[in-house]
Amino acid sequence: MKTNTKIRVTFGATALALMTATNAAYADKLTFYCSAQEDWCQLMANSFQDATGIEVAMTRKSSGETFAQIKAESSNPRGDVWWGGTGDPHLQAAEEGLTAEYISPMREQLHPWAISQAESADNKTIGIYSGALGFGYNSDLLAANGLSTPACWKDLLKPEFKGHVQMANPNSSGTAYTTLATMVQLFGEDDGFDFMAGLHANINQYTKSGSAPIKAAGRGENTIGIVFLHDAVKQAVSGFPVEPVAPCEGTGYEIGSMSIIDGARNMDSAKAFYDWALSTDAQNLALQVNAFQVPSNMNAETSPSAPDMSQIKLIDYDFRTYGSSETRQRLLKKWDDEVSILPQ
């Protein structure tokens, strides 16, 4: 076609460069939003591609960012499946109808907590791993400052820790919101907020991302970070002087989740990924990248370095209530109005 050639010349510059060098014709595709750590995301994407031949395009963003993106794109979805990240934004997405219902044939192999996560969201999400909340400290800095070793949540309120504790801002981080919700469930709403207010006096910085406090502790930029225990273990295994602590009063936990995006363009690929991600093979991959969460498949292996969930006092975390956007907005507003403005 002669005319077509003309157009092609007109847009030649753009065309040539936008064309990808390798052009696998008619390959199945999957747009994969990943909210776990980068290397884990990479490994999941590559392994799934190897296992099925489906071409995977992966973006890693934090769970808050991904939720924002899926919501922004809701009138015209671009992602297919969303894997990883703390469960609350997944529950919120389910509540807002951003994700699709799906019951996987793999379900019978899962721990009960993974299935109850699905049931609390009309089967629009499912648990893929879980991890307990806690804190970690930099043992070098603790010694250098002559501080006592904290073992309980209430220890963190001691005046000696002033300027030594870091946590994320609950407004921007799912981890920090889990902390807030845990305190409310553990101590009751009034005492929980008193705890947060007391903690506020010792906080040196509210970071934006959830695991930043323990990373800062690892590098020696901070003494104590309130994070998920598997994040603290990971820093210790990477060679940083970090000690994880499971608080004596008991603690909350997260269920890392996976959801299929409603109106996904490659729905079949998304379901294939969903089933694959619940298999033992896929869940064992976590060990290769030092991800120390507890996998949701009962037959998957757990790392010896991972925190032993049976030794941790877990509270009966109410995901349905505390994951709902109503409770969430109320607690966040209360924290904003009553805690964050206090002098430090």
One residue of 111, 124, 200, 215 binding other proteins per CB under 8 A: 215
What are the phi and psi torsion angles at 45 (to 5°)? -60, -50
Q: Which of 99, 125, 173, 257 binds other proteins (CB under 8 A)?
A: 173
Burial of residue 70, with CB atoms counted within 10 A of its CB: 0-12 exposed, 13-18 middle, 19 or more buried: buried
CB of 7 or CB of 103, closer to other proteins: 7
Closest approach, Cβ 195 to other proteins, in A, equals: 20
177 binds other proteins (CB under 8 A): yes
DSSP string, 60-83: E--HHHHHHHHHHTTTS----EEE
User: Could you tell me the smallest distance in angstroms from the CB atom of residue 87 to other proteins?
Assistant: 13
Paired tokens of 37: 């750590």
- Of 52, 139, 205, 279, which one interacts with other proteins (CB under 8 A)? 205
Place of tokens 């002098």: 343
Q: How far is the CB of 260 from other proteins (least distance, A)?
A: 16
Can you tell me the distance from the alpha carbon of 278 to that of 197, in angstroms, rounded to the nearest whole number? Answer: 40
Whole-angstrom Cα Rg for the chain: 22
Tell me if 11 contacts other proteins by CB under 8 A: yes
Residues 40-59: x/- map of binding to other proteins (CB under 8 A)?
Answer: --x--------------xxx
From 18-26, 194-202, 251-259, 311-319, span contacting other proteins (CB under 8 A): 18-26
Q: Give the nearer residue to other proteins in terms of CB position, either 198 or 241.
A: 241
Q: Does 219 bind other proteins (CB under 8 A)?
A: yes
Compute how many other C-beta atoms are within 10 angstroms of the C-beta atom of residue 134: 26
Indicate whether 335 belongs to the interface with other proteins (CB under 8 A).
Answer: no
How far, rounded to the nearest angstrom, does the alpha carbon of residue 54 sit from its chain's CA centroid?
25
HSE-up (13 A, CA, CB side) for residue 151: 2
64 makes contact with other proteins (CB under 8 A): yes
5 binds other proteins (CB under 8 A): no
* Backbone torsions φ then ψ of 331, nearest 5 degrees: -65, -40
Q: Which of residues 232-271 bind other proteins (CB under 8 A)?
A: 235, 238-241
Which DSSP helix (H) or strand (E) runs through 45?
A: helix 38-52
Residue 9 in contact with other proteins, rule: CB under 8 A: no
Asked if residue 72 binds other proteins (CB under 8 A), the reply is yes
Cα separation, 296 vs 128, whole angstroms:
5
CB of 119 to other proteins, least distance (A): 24
CB of 193 to other proteins, least distance (A): 18
- Within positions 22 to 41, which residues make up the interface with other proteins, using CB under 8 A? 23, 25-26, 31-33, 37-39
Task: Show contacts with other proteins in window 90-119 (CB under 8 A).
Answer: none
Listed in sequence order, the residues at least 6 apart from 189 whose beta carbon sits closer than 8 Å to its beta carbon are none
Structure tokens at 60: 């890693």
Which C-beta is closer to other proteins: that of 20 or that of 311?
20
Instruction: Please choose, from the candidates 54, 108, 91, the residue with its C-alpha nearest in 3D space to the C-alpha of residue 280.
Output: 108
Q: Which of 169, 297 has the CB closer to other proteins?
A: 169
Contact partners, residue 29, CB within 8 Å, separation at least 6: 54, 55, 56, 57, 266, 269
Q: Is position 313 an interface residue for other proteins (rule: CB under 8 A)?
A: no
Name which of 155 and 231 has its Cβ closer to other proteins.
Answer: 231
